[in-house]
Structure 1
Amino acid sequence: MILDAHGHVGTWPDFLIPRPAAEHLVATMDRIGVTAMGISHLLAVGPDAVRGNALALEIAERFPGRFGVWQVYNPHHRTPLDPAGHRGRVWGVKLHPDVHQCRLDDPLYEPVWRLGLPVLAHGQTDSPWSDPAQFATVAARHPHVRLLMGHTGLWPYGFGRAARLVSDHPNVFLETCGSKMTGRWLARLAELAGPERVLFGSDACFLDLRTGYGRVALAPLSDSSRALIQGGNLARLLGLPPTGTAVSADPDGSLAKGPLE
């Protein structure tokens, strides 16, 4: 089972995305063998979280079992979220502190932490909004929250530091998508944090899914570590059985499961 923790659909105003539609993602997923991908709609990351979240859920309905939705929360708009998740299509919450210019450790995100859902947040070394040190702060305040550090700090000079900053916080996972990531760095992160703390993500459709998965497929990892990173860890984090299910969480934080086809 291959689970992609970090994907998108839609367009972005200052970044060329040649194939932004879900149909193209599914075709590439089928070619590679990716079971499912967690997506947020770029409209939601940008100007309209409510409409973008609705579009992402519609896509998950059209392609049952292929997409889980990370619902974007804009802290300035206090975006309403649907934790029940449209028949189990929601994987959790997506935060982008840099786009929204709101620090990850800002109290404005408290409604998200109270949900108890998994949270995928953009992480960028030396950013005033999302430096990995802020992930450590949030993890210490909210040890019950399963927090995915998107991009593991983004820049290669910060990968190792990101792993060290969250080493004492087992609720933080290192998600590794980004154009600067390499197979060797994936293996190094598995050494630093343990392979059970590292997650495969591609950042498709921003970046090429084939390249993103190629790093995992060809990284100098043991077969057991590769299996954890390419899907086993995310399945465990979401509460999926080995065969895969779509997952949402009830408002009280308990998981509700449905079959992934």
Structure 2
Amino acid sequence: MILDAHGHLGPWPDFLIPDKTAEGMVELMDRIGIDAIGISHLLGVGLSAEEGNRLAFEAAARHPGRIGVWQVYNPHQRNRLTTEGVWGVKVHPDVHQCRLDDRRYDPVWELGLPVLAHGQTDSPWSDPEQFTTVARRHPHVPLLLGHAGLWPYGFARAAELIHGHPNLYLEICGSKMTGRWIAKLAGLAGADRVVYGSDSCFLDLRVGFGRVALAPLSDADRALIQGGNLARVLKGRLA
């Protein structure tokens, strides 16, 4: 099973997105062999977490088993969250300008669901060091470090930081990621701690998938990264 951990639907004001629809995404998934993708709606990341989450649930209902929902939590709006019918929670400290280790995110960690968080090396809001703080406070919460820190100069540091925190994973989407870096991260952190994501529809799903499909990995490590690790994190939440 091939699972994409990091997807989006909808528009973003300063980014060209040729196809913002769930239907277009699923059609492309069918063409390249991706079984399911977890999405957060960009309206939820931006103006309204409640409305964006509603649209995400509608898309998932139209495509059962193919689209999973990362419900967005905005610490300023303090929107409602659910434990039912979701893959977990999505937080974006940089957009919301609230540090990942800020106590305003406590309602997220208290749910115990998997969490996908934007990560950005040297950001005051989401530097990978903050992920280790959260991982220590909440060892029962599986936490995906989005983009593996985003910038290539921080990839190796992010891989080193997750050592000693078994609930921390590197999610590898981003325009700066390469197949060689994916293989290097698997060597530094362990292939069982690396999770494939594409950042579609922000970024081209085909390019994101191609990086891991063609990375210099063993078949066993590729299978873990392409879906095995995320399936373990999600447990019974895939359906």
Quickly name the TM-score band, shorter chain normalised: over 0.9
Instruction: Report the equivalent of 2:49.
Output: 49
Cα distance in 1 between the residues matched to 2:19 and 2:146: 22
Runs of 4+ residues deviating >2 angstroms: none
AA aligned opposite 1:56: A
Instruction: Answer with 75-84 or 39-48: which moved more.
Output: 75-84
Two-structure CA RMSD over aligned residues (Å): 0.8
- Residue pairs, 1:62-211, within 5 angstroms: 62-85=62-85, 90-211=86-207
Shift of 1:83: 1.3
Structure 2 length-normalised TM: 0.99
* TM-superposed deviation, 1:165: 1.1
Q: Which amino acid aligns with 1:73?
A: Y
Deviations 1:43-96 (A, max 9, x none): 0000000000000000000011101100000001111012122xxxx1000000
The corresponding residue for 1:4 is 4
Q: Please tell me the residue identity of whatever aligns with 2:150.
A: L
Instruction: Please state how far the C-alpha of 1:27 moved relative to its aligned partner.
Output: 0.8
| Structure 1 residue 22: Cα displacement | 0.8
Q: Residue 221 in 1 paired to residue 217 in 2?
A: yes
Q: CA deviation at 1:166?
A: 1.4
Number of the residue aligned with 2:61: 61
| Cα distance in structure 2, aligned partners of 1:52 and 1:6 | 16
Where does structure 1 lack aligned partners over 5 or more consecutive residues? 241-246, 248-256
TM-score (norm. length: structure 1): 0.91
Number of corresponding residues = 239
Residue 16 (structure 1) aligns with:
16
Aligned counterparts of 1:22 and 1:182: Cα–Cα separation in 2: 26
Distance 2:18 2:31 in 1: 18
Distance 2:3 2:87 in 1: 12
Query: 1:148 corresponds to which letter in structure 2?
Result: L
Unaligned ranges ≥5, structure 2: none
Indicate the SS of the match to 2:136: helix
